[in-house]
Structure 1
């Protein structure tokens, strides 16, 4: 019996130390969120509060602050059906004075609207998803792997199959040389007519022209002599 008491006395401080070390790990740090990071009012576009809620990670122990002007707005906690239809026939909680603070004490999805006029239809409503304090913010999805570009197809040179002429050796055809021109090139050059000498042609023309003028002058002289002789005889 005394030995058992000694064991209990020995291990009790160790057990207490373990409990003290483990309990803080399950505690949650409470945060306070101002809904919309601004006033609780008619939003600039219908999805404003939904986008704000989806960008935050709420845990048990956190609280929401609805900052609004009393008498112009209110906060009503409703069911999902009334949240979607913007009605408040069976409200869960009503806050008419601002700012209103709502502690988040349990996990789940909670719905809040303003039932003044048609403000809910204009987007003055919000749904809040509350997680357990031990849950962590979900990591961002990993980017999808990018497949490497397909390699370009290799260019394969066409295979040349030699023609077998039956002798076991490939036969290679050598192109025949082009036929020579018909006739002897020297003869073609010799038979070509020689170009005429333009100087000789011009000299011959000049001589013919001078001879013609001389003949005309001689004829005139002869005529004059005949005419003079006739006059002398008379």
Structure 2
């Protein structure tokens, strides 16, 4: 399908969903208060690895407090290097997240990077001192395991003002693109396609992203007619 036709088709569906999902979108925007957490960056890095590849991983690593309490930054900081690594690997396996050993390596690397930055509060301050979206994305991509999607999604999860015209492209959004019959040579081209859909739908990029993430089934059903 030609790009413009695909954008028009999807925007008609999004306009309807945006009107019917206002309350849920507003509820998600209230997550902005999490930005006040001193451990904001550490917490959202953990959440990123918990959900990477399978969103249900959040239950085992974040919502299960027995597991989560074992890998707070403050707890890990008290351990020796060997004990810290053992604890992270153990928790990732017990939490049954996808690719536990690979993600344990990422978490351990992120811990070391945050430690080098001076701890969670200092790392958060360094992130927020970055001017503009692109600077913050570059900063976040310095953390092991964080690519273009999660460098956006971490800030989108707290509805940060610099990321309200961003798209965290994942397998769900790629499946919508496949249904539309469009493909892209780069992340930025893919993101720009959806930002134009957002503009035509009368929503911002964040709102479109959350609609596609939370209501993909409804979008795909509408596209199948």
TM-score (norm 2): 0.20
Q: Which has the larger radius of gyration?
A: 1
**Which one has the bigger helix percentage?**
2
More strand by share: 1
TM-score, length-normalised on structure 1?
Answer: 0.19
